[in-house]
Amino acid sequence: MIYRKNYLIFLVIISSAKLFGQDKGHLIFSYGGSQVYQTEFERAFSKNNNFDKQSPSDSAIQEYLELYIKFKLKVSEAYRQKLDTQKSFKNELAGYRKQLAQPYLVDKKSNEKLIKEAYERYLKEVNASHIMVSLPTNPSPADTLKAYKKAIRYYNQIKSGELNFDSTAYQFSEDQSAKLNFGKLGYFTAFSMIYPFEGVAYNTPIGEISKPFKTRFGYHIVKVHDRRMSQGKIKVAHIMKRFNNEQEVEDAKTKIEEIYKRLNEGETFESLVNQFSEDFNSRKRGGELQAFRFTDNNIPLEFREAAFALKSNGDYSSPMKTKYSWHIIKRIDLKPIGSFEMLEEQMKIRVSRDGRNSINKAAMIDRLINENGITEFPKQIENTFSAIVGDSVRKPNWTPSEDLFSDQVLFTIKTENYTQKHFIEHIKLRRFPKNQNIYEVLRKYYINFKNESIMNFEEGNLAIKYPDFKYLVREYEEGILLFELMDKEVWSKASQDSSGIEEFFEKNKTNYMWEERAEVDVYELEGKIAKKVIKFLNKGKDKDWIIQKFNKKDPLAASVSSGMYEKSQKDYLQNIEHIGIIQKKQLENGHIEIVHVKNILPVTQKELSETKGLVTADYQKYLEIKWIEQLKKLYPVKINEEGVKHLFKSN
């Protein structure tokens, strides 16, 4: 099955020609009552193909022409079946439209400044501690003042030398982790902390403490211990032995030390990973982990310290312990943080998702106010506030009275009126904290309502202001429709048509055959036991007996993997003629590999159950071919060969 998102991206690319100019050029083909012209086809081809300045080959044009014809036929059929009227379609398109609108709803100047600032900070790492005085979720002015006074008292006492920062953090910080770490946060970088906290940490001199500052969590005092250039991103591999409790720690340690010994004796890191590492996700990659920075707190600190202590690529650590495991770490590569050009897109995405976005949004709203012109009516706004207060808004489960849903205008954006009714709809499910002044809460909600209305007004008019946005939404619309249509006519239809699949399989059985196959056990053995293992295999002993016997004293002496393979899948099966040991070779790590063939199966017909996935995929292709033939009858296609000759020609 094709993934929906990837399919939509492909369809957006293939249909993107609508974005471009009005000089249509030569007619290329018609279908039903519609036409496709040169400019549209060339733009679509260019978006979906890479070619040099020279014109693409005739064969490439012909191949894409057939693909584009099929695309156009399916688009027409989707609209004929009125798939665009379904509620599920409309909801999905609305979601995509929201995503597509986001790049148009940012202030470019402000955004560029924030992106560059984020990158500059991303190049550095800050080591800091903090003291926090917390605030409740909806603090009253009294709550805020009380917290501030407490924070400023700590600040003054630390500055005067009356209190020590670490002991103050341990005794008084309301960040509970301070009881364990004395408020120490270690090294962090941009995006590790909420934006206001990050800003203070990057701007406070080394060795100094900041004045108390407020975030949504409370008041903080930050002490900066160090600021350094980034240590870069390190890529490592590891061998891991787990333990689940204190009783298992020593057993895991004994095993990791034996592995370390064998590593020092010349066995390769990769072979030891494959045999013994209990990180099963990384084992299939030779123990490799995703590259990480010293500031990535999702990785244990002791692991990061050991990794960054390795001086050269290929170096490996002695066994080291984290909370739940023993590790041997091998350094693969260490790279500096990439250039701004390399990381710009990543910075854009991360800036849009953290607290910086509120700064950009404020700048965007200011710009839209200047562009659109907003007229507010203060008297009506105050009358609305008074009416809401008089409606007993503080009552539990407040339901606004009908009188509040009036058409009294609070402000206008261009010619669009925003009324008391709109504002009531905005706040009717919101809370009114008892410890806050109700007029202050209403003013806050009104500002939110006004700003949200400004952004929604802009979003609603994007298609008018930006033709490329209009057409991009149109392309996603067609993409969703075509996915639904293909699922209906091909993918689900084939998957659910059991009798059709069986009939297709019976007619095409010869396409689904097993090659000659062999059932094999592949042993990796210490050299000193290889001859003995061969002897016992020749006597008919099975793999379980072999492993139990030879691993009794040394659990690392022998390992085995088993499988059933077609001859073409393994080099050592190419000339197989008999059951038994067919290959013995020495590996780079000094071990001996033995391939033991237990059974040989001749060429046989596959059962449907053994190849149903492939048969279903072939059946889907068959159904699509038949369906396209029907569409060509419903929407007759006529190719203008003369127009095709002019494609990608200068005249």
Q: Is 285 left (phi over 0), alpha (psi -120 to 50) or beta?
A: alpha
**Band of residue 5 on the pLDDT scale cut at 50, 70, 90:** low
| Strand pairing category for 325-335 and 320-321 | antiparallel
Q: Which CATH architecture has domain 124-229?
A: Roll (3.10)
Q: Backbone phi, then psi, for 395, in 5-degree steps?
A: -65, 145
Nearest to 521 by CA among 565, 586, 569: 565
| Strand pairing category for 592-601 and 517-525 | antiparallel
Provide the residue count of the chain. 651
Distance from the first to the final alpha carbon of the chain: 43
**Band of residue 590 on the pLDDT scale cut at 50, 70, 90:** confident
Domain boundaries, the chain: 1-80+466-512+608-651, 124-229, 233-335, 373-462, 514-605
Check whether 526 has a pLDDT greater than 50: yes
Asked if 272 contacts 587 with a C-beta cutoff of 8 angstroms, the reply is: no
Nearest to 70 by CA among 60, 78, 81, 59: 78
Structure tokens at 252: 């895991």
The Cα 329–Cα 318 span in angstroms is 8
Structure tokens at 365: 């709203």
Mean predicted lDDT score pLDDT of the chain:
91
pLDDT digits (tens, 9 = 90+) for 342-385: 999 999 999 988 889 889 999 999 999 999 989 999 999 999 99
Give the pLDDT of residue 1: 46
The Cα 272–Cα 188 span in angstroms is 34
The Cα 70–Cα 624 span in angstroms is 10
| Residue where the block lists tokens 């009324």 | 419
Structure tokens at 464: 């008018």
**Band of residue 12 on the pLDDT scale cut at 50, 70, 90:** low
The whole-model pTM stands at 0.63
Calculate mean pLDDT across residues 505-510: 94
Beta strands in 403-487 (DSSP E): 409-413, 416-419
Calculate mean pLDDT across residues 41-62: 80
pLDDT digits (tens, 9 = 90+) for 279-316: 999 998 999 999 999 999 899 999 999 999 999 999 99
Structure tokens at 376: 């507010």
One-character DSSP codes across 406-418: ---EEEEETTEEE
The Cα 151–Cα 217 span in angstroms is 13
Domain 233-335, CATH 3.10.50.40 — does that match? yes
Check whether 264 has a pLDDT greater than 70: yes
Check whether 503 has a pLDDT greater than 80: yes
- Domain pair 233-335 / 514-605, same fold: yes
Lowest mean pLDDT among 405-414, 547-556, 597-606: 547-556
Give the pLDDT of residue 52: 60
Check whether 22 has a pLDDT greater than 90: no
Check whether 17 has a pLDDT greater than 80: no
pLDDT digits (tens, 9 = 90+) for 90-115: 999 999 999 999 889 989 999 999 99
Check whether 644 has a pLDDT greater than 60: yes
Structure tokens at 615: 């048969």
**Band of residue 56 on the pLDDT scale cut at 50, 70, 90:** confident
Calculate mean pLDDT across residues 138-165: 94
- Return the CATH number of 514-605, one of 3.40.1160.10, 3.30.1360.170, 3.10.50.40, 1.20.1730.10: 3.10.50.40
Half-sphere exposure of 477 (CA within 13 A, CB side): 16
pLDDT digits (tens, 9 = 90+) for 232-255: 999 999 999 999 988 899 999 999
DSSP state of 206: T
In sequence order, what are the beta bridge partners of 565?
518
Give the pLDDT of residue 20: 42
Q: Backbone phi, then psi, for 594, in 5-degree steps?
A: -125, 130
Give the pLDDT of residue 424: 96
Calculate mean pLDDT across residues 122-135: 97
Give the pLDDT of residue 392: 83
Structure tokens at 325: 């495991």
Give the pLDDT of residue 291: 96
